Structure 1
Amino acid sequence: MGQKKKKPLAPALMYLISTGQIFRLVTIVTGSIVMVYAVLFLMVYAGLFGHLATVQELRNIQNHISSEVYSNDKVLLGKYYFQDRTNVRYQNLPEHLIHALIAAEDVRFYEHHGIDGRSSLRVIFKSILFQNRRSGGGSTIHQQLAKNLFKRKRYSIITMPVNKFREMIIGVRLDKAYSKKEILELYLNTVSFGENTYGIETAAQRFFRTLPCDLKIEDSALLVGMLKGTFIYNPRYFPERSKTRRDNVLSQMHKYSYINKATMDSVCALPVRLDYVNLSHNEGPAPYFREHLRLVLLDWAKNNPKSDGTHYNIYTDGLKIYTTINADLQQYAEEAIKNQMANLQKNFDRQWKDRDPWGDQNAFILKILENTPAYGRMKKQGMSGEKIIEALKVPKRMEIFTYEGMKEVEMSVYDSVAHYSRFLQAGLLSMEAETGYVRAWVGGINSNYFKYDHIHSKRQAGSAFKPILYAAALKNGHDPCAYLPNDSVVFEEYNNWTPRNSSGGYGGYYSMKGALSQSVNTISVKLLEKTGIDSVIRFSEQMGIEGALPEVLSLALGTGNVSLKEMVRAYNVFLNEGKIVEPIFLKRIEDKYGNVLFETETRISEPLINPHHALLMTAGVGTIVTLDHFLHLFQRFTFCLRQFPEDKKKAQQTNTCV
């Protein structure tokens, strides 16, 4: 018998079966994924992917805080930091800043306890399942704070879900450890605004030169808007894009009834206005001073441990460092150096335009290049000196310093050294006589390109040394009213050396005051001979001259190498009735809680010289700086390049390079 043929299933029944199979398949796949992620979540919770901070540990968390340097008149000069951060209290945060943050980042902030259920679903499907790193919008402020406090790690293909689960768990624990206000405060003190800037106070100072409490609503909206992308919404680089993002934040604030429509419209119509200031290690006022202070602070921290035996860290402990610098005087000093040195540089370049100021220019530059890191690296690679110099002569794109501003040029390392070697340098130190407080400190013309601090550089003092010599002569019993002959004398015991007067004139007699005011070299040498070279050197050391001085008669003309800092300390003796007042630049150090860790007071010694003699020296030095003499010197200034042996010899004879 033949078999009966099966009738085909009805199309509707086939549809139901296929739909059921798909549904079961989707259910199985979804269930499997949920189970996998549930297991993964439990593994994260159990700490298999690294320790998770406990509630107690979160309560004790400490941010790294920048140490701040202040002038005597409470102006912020700069900071020392690894991450530029300054903490601010919640009560000092403007209400519109809090509203902008919540409207833009976490509208249900006050309703959840670290995890926002609705937003979490978006995170699961976008960030975790589809690995969309730009999905955003799902992390609560708690979770973002967790990410700020504990940097994300790599876990191969499960990096995203593991990090998200870690942040969710820590976010819930943060909600148990802190109140809502405390979480907002901690978040705004840890969040990055780019440019190595952390925390709202540092961001407010950098972009608007103000404190958070003084931020305007448009400023708050702009800073909150940057959190979505600190570079792409940076108002310095992308002002239009930043404004669009700011206006979106304002729109969110209106949407959630934090501001009305009229306020939104009026603020959105405003342009982006920045008052940018970057108080980095090289930017801001007194950079040379802050570098000198940094080295002093590191030494202080090393020798002054905390009560628990650990050492202070000037980059992370949030110290408040109060100095004697006067912000206005510092600004005037920096401007004076910049303007005067720019004028001197023009004259120098005009005089030496077609000549080499360093003699053998090539040998001079090669000597500098041999001490550069680039030369050292290539030397270690086995390259010959000839090949290294050849490589350093290859032009490349670089930025160079000029008084007209920074310039982008095509220049080799060799040529850049030649460029910078022609710049004249200077230092300026201003000290208050009675207190010893250093009020201004300028170590060079630009700290970005010239790191050496000329406050410490030792140079021949020239005629600036003569007041020290004259004071030593008075202390040794020389009669200030006695007259000395202005004769040309040959000193046979010193290789027939003859001191010469810069004017070329001889004859007549001079008192000490007259000889000092006219800077007569022959008289100065005779005073040194009468007083004794050893006596003058010992007296100079008592005055604050630290380096070794040459035991020769040309010392009277200032051939000894001394620093500007030493000379200022020595001259201060004349203004303090013969007493030594130690220079002070650091007044006080406080910890982040305001406890005083270090404090200094003015230190005054017993008189080194008779107060009457100090008064005579003050009057004598004062006559040198009369207006006519100053204008005369200003009109006929010359450049002394002490690298030339013949110039150095001439300086020792005539002291023309003053």
Structure 2
Amino acid sequence: MSERNTEFNSDNEPISKIQMFKKPLIIFWSVFSICILIAVLFFAGVSNGTFGFMPSFEELENPKNSLATEVYTVDGNLIGKFYFENRSFVEYSELSPFLVDALIATEDVRFNDHSGIDVRGLGRVAKGLITGDRSAGGGSTISQQLAKMLFPRESFEKKMEIVFRKFREWVIAVKLERSYTKEEIMTMYFNKFDFLNLAVGVKSAANVYFNTTPDSLKIEQAAMLVGMAKNPSYFNPLRRPELTLNRRNVVLSQMVRYDYLSKMEFDSLKNLPLGIDFQKVDHKRGMAPYFREYLRTSLTANEPSRDRYPSYADQQFVKDSIEWETNPFYGWCNKNVKADGTPYNIYKDGLKIYTTLDSRMQRYAEEAVVEHLGSDLQKAFNREKENHKYPPFSDDLSKEDVDQNIETSMRRSERYRVLKKNGMSLDSIRLVFKNPVKMRIFTWKGERDTIMSPNDSMLYMKGFLRAGFMSMEPQTGEVRAYVGGPNYEHFMYDMVNVGKRQVGSTIKPFLYTLAMQEGLGPCDRVPNIPQTFILPDGTPWTSKNSTDARNGEMVTLKWGLANSVNYISAWVLKQTTPESVVKMAHEMGVISEIDPVPSIFLGTSEITVYEMVGAYSTFVNKGVYIKPSFITKIEDHKGNVLAQSVPRKHEVMDERTAYLMTNLLQGVVQRGTGVRLRYKYGLINPIGGKTGTTQNHSDGWFMGITPELVSGVWVGAEDRSVHFEGISLGQGANMALPIWALYMQKVYADKSLGITQGDFEKPRGVSINLDCDDESNESNNKELIESENEDFF
């Protein structure tokens, strides 16, 4: 038997069992070795990029992320972002432990044990494919999912390309595990994931969905966000709340399964609603939108070049050129470069911009604008226009004037530009603008859906009064509040730093400053009589007053400024020259063009609120002009300081002159056109101010100074032909002053701000009499006192 079963070789010699299996073993190990070699070569090729893209070592060490730039107030509140992707970076320490536990329990329970690839997980997937068990789950680890997010998959059609793609992700995952710690991988995952609705990264997601921060997320909130990781488009809490709720509970059950959560806690949490507190991401909404837009355009500005400005924009070119040369933050992104030599990009470099704004004071300013315009002034304006021929326009406009105004507005609109670009004729465009369409319009009670033609909507919007407001600390130049209009979404034109309007009598303090410099004092008396100037062409010009109060008498300069009397301003101008007034205004920070003509004190020049606030701060800052500033510093996303603010200031006048001017301005509030601050708003602390009203009451101004804050207000409509008809409602004391008063009431009431109601500091050696004799003899008639002299051109 044994002989029959024995095998023999070619020489008829018996073969042993070892010799009998030697050849198959050699074949087996040869094939195995070749497979191993092929696998090694294959993965080496994958790693080297032979079979498709593979990130370099530098890219793995520094994966490119588009991080949003964050804008903070001086009291530490985030008020806005600039971004391509609304992503903000967080450290691992800023993540709620619930987030980490939920993600591990749901997506990769052996995350802390594997090195990028979970072999057991792959086996589970393979078994599921063989048995058809869909509940077996996926085999992608957190590291692999991160690899997909950092280096997105290409679009493939062939199956082999899809296979290569999967292998590449394995290699990237392993490389990530070698380059980063587990905590770093977890942090990168949460910073990279897109949670939809402009919530990129967990910091944005926590704010968008729950109005909180990642470290403050509750366990059920963390579970919802982790649940979205499976498919954020499908598990979208805004579109599919029920599915998202079920998915959240699946995550919670996984946490129970792996002992991150007790069964009792789960039974309680699963019944809770999603609790969404959605914060819509929109640069047109939120706090200080006008200010944020000014920052964006200022930081990203290019060096001014005359050929990029239209022929009518000479002043803007000059202004921008001065800013480029003197303001390090103007065009900052283009003036500074990163380590790689490329300019900074506020949309993706994750900068942190620390501004001078105070969120509390900004809120009070915005509330004051809305309260006065929406609850008081607009209603009065609408009542006045009810019986007009072509409201909201003044009755001195003809039907042709109104039609031409609407035609001009049509040609300036974006709708017109698009239609014109598409080749539509002018007549056809006019028909489009007359055709009613569905639209959402602004009202003081909120937006309203309606049907209206574009022409009618333009006419409707022209009827709203607008405002510009800015408040700053005169000693530091730091701007604390900035309101460019009543509603940025519907009135985007910034009336603080962009829009210019005629300033009326608020220009008179520049003139009176020259008088104080020449040795005159507030109580010096001058004749209240007409003054005549001879113009260059030989024509005589005489100033006019709007009241006969004390005509022909000797009155003090203090009385003259307090009541904005043009005869007194004309007398003061005769002691100097219009050119000197222009020079003084420019030294006090006014860049806008001012014509050096005898009527200069009527305020026909167009100046911004920003310039006027900076100029008036010179009086409080003891004669030193300090340029208003908006930024304290800029940091990169790692906290390295890239730029810091340096005050820009120069002396304009001596302390004596500045103090005398504050006294003159106090007279305006004590017994002049600003007296309603006392009797109506109860502000009895030391305050100086100046009202301003332009011809036809188109523009109302109030500039207010206190020892710690200087603030300016402009109020008017888009068109100067839309205005109040009379001085009672149309003066600066009624249009603009109330906003200043409401703001200051709120500021003084907030003790956390530390704004006191102290007096202006008196310089040493000033002994001039400031208690003028005629103050006690002035009329107590409030209507006479408040009726500001209208400026006749």
The one-character-per-residue Cα deviations of 1:38-75 (angstroms, maximum 9, x if unpaired) are 99999866746631124553123242222211111111
Contact 2:381–2:724 (8 Å) recurs in 1: no
For 1:160 and 1:274, the matched residues in 2 are separated by 38
Structure 1 match to 2:783: none
For 1:342 and 1:204, the matched residues in 2 are separated by 34
Contact 2:619–2:658 (8 Å) recurs in 1: yes
Residue 370 (structure 1) aligned with residue 393 (structure 2): no
Shift of residue 331, structure 1, vs aligned partner: 0.9
The one-character-per-residue Cα deviations of 1:597-618 (angstroms, maximum 9, x if unpaired) are 1112334423x22312211111
For 1:308 and 1:167, the matched residues in 2 are separated by 28
Structure 2 match to 1:554: 599
1:321-470 superposed matches below 5 A: 321-343=353-375, 344-353=377-386, 354=388, 355-358=390-393, 359=397, 360-456=401-497, 457-470=499-512
Structure 2 match to 1:580: 625
Residue 542 (structure 1) aligned with residue 619 (structure 2): no
Residue among 255, 270, 273 paired with 2:272? 270
| More moved, 118-127 vs 223-232 | 118-127
Shift of residue 98, structure 1, vs aligned partner: 0.9
| More moved, 243-252 vs 48-57 | 48-57
Contact 1:460–1:560 (8 Å) recurs in 2: yes
Structure 1's 513 and 374: CA in aligned 2 closer, same or farther, altered over 3 A? same
Shift of residue 154, structure 1, vs aligned partner: 2.0
Shift of residue 461, structure 1, vs aligned partner: 0.8
Structure 1's 374 and 64: CA in aligned 2 closer, same or farther, altered over 3 A? same
Structure 1's 262 and 115: CA in aligned 2 closer, same or farther, altered over 3 A? same
For 1:103 and 1:431, the matched residues in 2 are separated by 52
Contact 1:40–1:162 (8 Å) recurs in 2: no
Shift of residue 449, structure 1, vs aligned partner: 2.2
Residue among 260, 285, 299 paired with 1:283? 285
For 1:218 and 1:587, the matched residues in 2 are separated by 39
For 2:369 and 2:493, the matched residues in 1 are separated by 15
Residue 500 (structure 1) aligned with residue 544 (structure 2): yes
Q: Which amino acid aligns with 1:655?
A: E
Residue 532 (structure 1) aligned with residue 577 (structure 2): yes
Structure 2 match to 1:304: 336
Structure 2 match to 1:622: 666
Structure 1's 307 and 393: CA in aligned 2 closer, same or farther, altered over 3 A? same
Structure 1 match to 2:230: 228
For 2:647 and 2:58, the matched residues in 1 are separated by 46
Structure 1 match to 2:568: 523
Structure 1's 553 and 54: CA in aligned 2 closer, same or farther, altered over 3 A? closer
Residue among 636, 644, 654 paired with 1:610? 654
Gaps of 5+ in 1: 1-37
Structure 2 match to 1:16: none
The one-character-per-residue Cα deviations of 1:441-485 (angstroms, maximum 9, x if unpaired) are 111112222221111221111111111111122224445443222
For 1:195 and 1:600, the matched residues in 2 are separated by 35
Structure 2 match to 1:171: 173
Contact 2:522–2:664 (8 Å) recurs in 1: no
For 1:316 and 1:502, the matched residues in 2 are separated by 57
Contact 1:71–1:77 (8 Å) recurs in 2: yes
Q: Any idea what SS the aligned residue of 2:174 has?
A: helix
Q: Any idea what SS the aligned residue of 1:402 has?
A: coil
> So what's the TM-score if we normalise by structure 2?
0.71
Residue 594 (structure 1) aligned with residue 639 (structure 2): yes
Q: Any idea what SS the aligned residue of 1:426 has?
A: strand
Structure 1 match to 2:182: 180
Q: Any idea what SS the aligned residue of 2:467 has?
A: coil
The one-character-per-residue Cα deviations of 1:385-406 (angstroms, maximum 9, x if unpaired) are 1111212333333322222112
Q: Which amino acid aligns with 2:420?
A: K
For 1:622 and 1:331, the matched residues in 2 are separated by 27
Structure 1's 398 and 226: CA in aligned 2 closer, same or farther, altered over 3 A? farther
Shift of residue 439, structure 1, vs aligned partner: 0.7
Contact 2:531–2:571 (8 Å) recurs in 1: no
Structure 2 match to 1:567: 612
Structure 1's 657 and 107: CA in aligned 2 closer, same or farther, altered over 3 A? farther
Shift of residue 104, structure 1, vs aligned partner: 2.1
Contact 1:393–1:413 (8 Å) recurs in 2: yes
For 1:501 and 1:610, the matched residues in 2 are separated by 32
Contact 2:125–2:136 (8 Å) recurs in 1: yes
Gaps of 5+ in 2: 1-38, 301-330, 682-690, 699-716, 732-787
For 2:181 and 2:723, the matched residues in 1 are separated by 77
Contact 2:602–2:791 (8 Å) recurs in 1: no
Contact 1:577–1:615 (8 Å) recurs in 2: yes
Q: Which amino acid aligns with 2:347?
A: Y
Contact 2:521–2:660 (8 Å) recurs in 1: no
Count how many residue pairs are aligned between Structure 1 and Structure 2: 616
For 1:48 and 1:125, the matched residues in 2 are separated by 31
Q: Any idea what SS the aligned residue of 2:471 has?
A: strand
Structure 2 match to 1:206: 208
For 1:167 and 1:135, the matched residues in 2 are separated by 21
Shift of residue 425, structure 1, vs aligned partner: 1.3
Q: Any idea what SS the aligned residue of 2:633 has?
A: strand
Shift of residue 218, structure 1, vs aligned partner: 1.4
Contact 1:104–1:252 (8 Å) recurs in 2: yes
| More moved, 326-335 vs 399-408 | 399-408
Contact 1:70–1:323 (8 Å) recurs in 2: yes
Structure 1's 238 and 519: CA in aligned 2 closer, same or farther, altered over 3 A? farther
Shift of residue 375, structure 1, vs aligned partner: 2.0
Shift of residue 117, structure 1, vs aligned partner: 4.7
The one-character-per-residue Cα deviations of 1:195-219 (angstroms, maximum 9, x if unpaired) are 2222112222333333322221112
Contact 2:392–2:722 (8 Å) recurs in 1: no
Q: Note the aligned Cα RMSD (angstroms).
A: 3.6
Contact 1:462–1:657 (8 Å) recurs in 2: no
Contact 2:515–2:572 (8 Å) recurs in 1: yes
> So what's the TM-score if we normalise by structure 1?
0.84
For 1:86 and 1:645, the matched residues in 2 are separated by 45
Contact 2:96–2:217 (8 Å) recurs in 1: yes
Q: Any idea what SS the aligned residue of 2:665 has?
A: helix
For 1:529 and 1:357, the matched residues in 2 are separated by 40
